[in-house]
Amino acid sequence: MWRSIVAAAIALAALAAVHRVVVVPWRCNVLAGRVSASTERAWLDRGGDRARAAATNNIAILGDCADRCRTDVNLAMLLSSNFRLLNRNSVAAGLLEEALRYERRPKLYFELGDTQLELGLREEALKNFVRAGNFAGTYNFGEIADPDVRERAYAAVGRHEEELLARQGTR
Amino acid sequence: MRWHSAWERALAALILLGTLATPLVISWGGQDHFRLPKQLLLVALAIICTAVAAMGLVLRKLEWPLDLRLPLAIAAAGLGWGVVSGIASTNRALSIQALLWGASVAALFLVMAFALRVASVTMLAVALFIPGLINASLLLLQAFEIWNPWTFDAGMPRRLMRNALLGNPNDVGAYLGVLTLFAIALLLTTKRWPYALVAATTGAALVATETLTAIVALSAALIVMLIIRMPRIGVAVGVIAPLLVLTALLLYPATGVRVRALERSARAGMWGEVMSARLPAFVAAWEMFRDHPLLGVGPGCFKFHYMSYYAEIERRYPRLLVNAPKGTIFVQTHNDQLQLLAEIGLPGYLLVIAGIGVLAMRAFRRSRGVARLLAIPLATLVLVMMLASFSMQLAAPVWTCIVLGGGCLAWSDSDVA
C-alpha cells in the first residue's frame, strides 16, 4: 500500500516539476516573442496613444512571467522597455537593477543609464554608461540624449582606452 | 533472452522519442526559437524518465542492475558536490537553474544506461539518424543556397545562416560530429552501406558548418577509433592525419579562408582574434578557479562574474587583450572544462571527468560490439569538444552524447547491430 502512495506522490511531484520548470518557461518564451515584436513597433511611435496602449497590454502579458522567471534577464529588459514607454521610469530602473543581480552585461548598464537619465539621475547614469562603454566600447553612445553626459561618457571611456593601450605598450 | 517488463519498455520508448524529437523541436513564435525549446524538452524528459524509473523501483517493477552502481555513485557524488557548490554559490538563483540542467543530464544518462538494454543498437541508430539526416540535409541546402527556411537580418555572415533546426552552425557542428562518429562506428562493425551514406551526409554537413572545434574533435576521435581497430595503422594515421586534415581545411575554400585568417592573426600577435575573441573568457574562468579552487564561484555563475573579471584582466594582463575584439559578453566560457573548474571547483570537475572515464572503461570489456569500438572515441570527442565550445550545455549535442554513452554501458556483447 505505502509503495503505491509513494509512487503516486512521485508522479504528482514530477507533474508539478514539469509545469514549473518546463511549461512556464516555454509559455513565457512564446509570450516574450510576441511582446518583443510589439515593443519594437511601440518604440517607433513613443509617446503616442497606440504605443502606450501596446505597452500597457505588454506589461499585463509579461507581468506573471517576470515574477516566475526572475533570472531571465531578457524578460526583465523587455518589461522595463515597456514601463519606459509609459514614462514609469523608476519601475523600469528597478527592474534593470534587479536584472543586474543575475547577469551583468553592457547592454543592461546602458539601458539603466538611459533610464536614470530620464529620471534626472545624471551622475548615476554617467557611471553606468561608462561601465558599459569600458567593456563594449562607445558604439551606442550617440544615443545618449543629454549632450553633457554624452561628452563626459566619451571622455571617461576614452581615458580608459588610453590607459589600457599604454599598459599594453602599444601607445 | 531476458523478459523485459512494460516499465523498461516504457522508459526505452521515452528515450527513443526524446532522441527523435530533441534535435527537431523549435518554437516558431518564441523569443528563443531554437536552444530553449530543446533544453526544456530535455529537462521535461529527464523529469518524466526519472519519475518513471523511481516509481518502477518503488513498486518493484524495476531492479537497478549491479553493473550500473559505479556510474550511479559517480553521478550521485557529482550532484552532491554540485549542491554543496550551489549552497556556497555567489549567486544561488543562477546556481539552482544550472543544477537543474546538470541533474537532468546526469539522471538521463543513468536512465539511458539502464533502459537502452531493451532497445537494440539499430533502433537507436534509426532514432538518431532520422533527425540527424533532416538537420544535415537542411544544412546542406542552406550551405549551397538552394533553400533556407529562415529570414536573416541584412549583413548577417553567410556562415551563421547555416543553422538547420539548431539555430547556430556551432551547435549543428557539435551535434553532427557525434552522429558521424556513431555512423562510422556502425559501418566498421556491421559493414552495412546505409551507414556509409549517413556518415557521408552528416560528415559533409559538418564540414559545411565550418565548425573547427567539432571537425578537430571528430578527427581526434576517429584516430582513436582507428588505433583501437588497427593499432599499427592507427598510430601511423595519427601522425599523418593531422597534416591531411589541415591540408583539407586549407583546400576547402570556406574553411581555408578561416585557417589562413587565423594564421595571419597569429603572425601579427593578435591572439584575441586567433581564439575567436575567446581568450578573455578563458582567462576569466581560470582566474575564477584560482580564486575559488575548491567550490568554484557556483554552478551557472560564470556569466554573473565575467564583466568584473574582464576588468581585472585589463588591469593585470593587458597584453592578452591586444587587438582582441571588444564587447563580446560571454554567457558561457566556450570551454566547458574551464567553466566546470570555475563554477564547481576541482572536485566537481574531476567527478565529471570520472563520469566520462566510466564510459571509456566500457571499451575494456571483452566484447566485439559497437559499444566497445565507440566508447573511447566518444569520450575523446566529448573531451576535445569541451576544450573549445560549450556544446555540453546545448540540448541536441548533449542528448546525442549521453544516449550513445548510455548505450555503450547498456548494450551487451551480443548487440553488434
Residues A55 and A122 in one domain: no
CA distance B341 to B350: 9
Domain end: A68, A84, A103, which one?
A103
Instruction: Give the pLDDT confidence score for residue B412 in this predicted structure.
Output: 64
Identify the pLDDT of residue B259.
76
Q: What pLDDT, in 10s, does the model give residues B36-53?
A: 999 999 999 999 999 999
Q: Which of B406, B409, B399, B404 lies closest to B44 in space, CA to CA? A: B399
In this predicted structure, what is the pLDDT of residue B233? 80
Same domain, A93 and A46: yes
In the block, residue with C-alpha cell 566547458: B336
pLDDT value at residue B272: 66
Band the pLDDT of B411: cuts 50, 70, 90.
Answer: confident
Q: Would you say residue B223 has pLDDT above 70?
A: yes
Give the pLDDT mean for B80-101: 96
Residue B366: exposure state from Cβ atoms within 10 A (0-12, 13-18, ≥19)? exposed
| Same-domain status, A81 and A131 | no
- As a whole number of angstroms, the distance between CA A88 and CA B362 comes to 61
Q: Which of B44, B322, B329 sits opposite A18 (nearest CB)?
A: B44
Judging by beta carbons within 10 Å of its beta carbon (0-12, 13-18, 19+), is residue B251 exposed, middle or buried? exposed
Q: Between residues B357 and B417, which one has the greater pLDDT?
A: B357
pLDDT beyond 90 at B343 = yes
A114 in the same domain as A76: no
DSSP state letters, B277-292: T-HHHHHHHHHHHHHS
Out of A10, A21, A168, the one facing B51 most closely (by C-beta) is A10
Query: Is A125 in the same domain as A138?
Result: yes
Which of residues A50, A79, A103 is at a domain's end? A103
Got the DSSP string for B25-67?
A: ---TTSSSSSHHHHHHHHHHHHHHHHHHHHHHHHTTS----GG
Same domain, A93 and A144: no
Could you give the ipTM of this predicted complex?
0.91
- B314-325 pLDDT per residue, tens: 888 887 777 677
| Structure-model confidence comparison of residues B414 and B76, the more confident one | B76
Q: Provide the pLDDT for residue A80.
A: 96
pLDDT exceeds cutoff 90 at B255: no
Interface of A with B (CB under 8 A): 3-4, 6-7, 10-11, 13-14, 17-18, 21-22, 25-26, 29-30, 32-34, 36, 70-71, 74, 101-107, 134-137, 139, 164, 167-170
**pLDDT surpasses 70 at B229:** yes
Residue B95's alpha-carbon distances to B82, B90, B151, B200, in angstroms, are 9, 9, 35, 41
Sorted by where each begins, the domain ranges of chain B are 6-410
Best residue in B58, B92, B100 for a mutation probing chain A (most A CBs within 10 Å): B58
CA-closest candidate to residue A84, choices A70, A73, A71, A95: A95
Residue A132 and residue A93 share a domain: no
Residues A163 and A141 in one domain: yes
What pLDDT band is residue A149 in, cutting at 50, 70 and 90?
A: very high
Contact by Cβ (8 Å): B203, B217: no
pLDDT at B417: 47
Whether A114 and A60 share a structural domain: no
Looking at chain B, the whole-number percentage of residues with pLDDT higher than 70 is 94
What is chain A's mean pLDDT, rounded? 93
Nearest-CB residue to B31 (from A21, A32, A134)? A32
**All three cell numbers of B46:** 529527464
CA dihedral B198, B201, B202, B203 (to 10 degrees): 110
More confident residue, A14 or A137: A14
Radius of gyration, alpha carbons of chain B: 21
Domain hosting residue A117, numbered range = 104-171
Nearest-angstrom CA–CA distance, A81 and A54: 12
Q: How far apart are CA A54 and CA A143, in angstroms?
A: 23
Question: Looking at residue B42, what is its pLDDT?
Answer: 98
Note whether A73 and A122 are same-domain residues. no
Average pLDDT over residues B240-257: 77
Residue A119 has pLDDT above 90, yes or no: yes
The angle formed by the CA atoms of residues B340, B342 and B345, to the nearest 5 degrees, is: 75
Among A55, A75, A103, residue at a domain's last position: A103
Q: Are residues A148 and A136 part of one domain?
A: yes
pLDDT at B234: 75
Could you tell me the pLDDT band of residue A86, with boundaries at 50, 70 and 90? very high
- My answer on whether A52 and A67 are in the same domain is yes
Of A7, A13, A104, the CB nearest to B58: A7
Residues of B with CB under 8 A from a CB of A: 27, 29-33, 36-37, 40-41, 43-44, 47-48, 50-51, 54-55, 58-60, 91, 93-94, 97, 100, 303-308, 310-311, 314-315, 318-319, 321-322, 326-327, 329, 331
Determine which of B149-163, B220-234, B359-373 has the lowest per-residue pLDDT on average. Answer: B359-373
Q: What is the pLDDT of residue B361?
A: 86
**In the structure grid, which three cell numbers stand for residue A110, read together?**
546602458
Q: Do A29 and B311 touch (CB under 8 A)?
A: no
Q: Which of A4, A30, A127 to mutate to test the interface with B (most CBs of B within 10 A)?
A: A30
Stated length of chain B: 417
Q: How confident is the model over B85-89, as a mean pLDDT?
A: 97
Q: Could you tell me how far CA A13 lies from the centroid of its own chain?
A: 33
d(CA A150, CA A142): 7
The residue with cell 565550418 is B210
Per-residue pLDDT tens digits for A40-79 = 999 998 889 999 999 999 999 998 898 888 899 999 999 9
Residue B270, pLDDT > 70, answer no
pTM of the model: 0.91
Res A170 pLDDT > 80: no
- Confidence band of B2 (pLDDT split at 50, 70, 90): low
CB contact under 8 A, A14 and B48: yes
* Cα–Cα distances in angstroms (integers) from residue B184 to residues B187, B394, B400, B412, in the given order: 5, 23, 15, 20
Can you give the pLDDT at residue B249? 75
Query: Which helix H or strand E contains A112, and what residues bound it?
Result: helix A106-118
Name, in order, each residue with C-beta under 8 angstroms of B31's C-beta and a sequence gap of 6 or more. Answer: A29, A30, A32, A33, A36, A74
pLDDT value at residue B416? 47
Q: What average pLDDT does the structure give for chain B?
A: 90
d(CA B153, CA A40): 15
Residues A100-111 have pLDDT tens digits of 999 999 999 999
For the cut 60, the answer to whether the pLDDT of residue B391 exceeds it is yes
User: pLDDT tier at B3 (50, 70, 90 boundaries)?
Assistant: low
Instruction: Domain count for chain A, please give it.
Output: 2
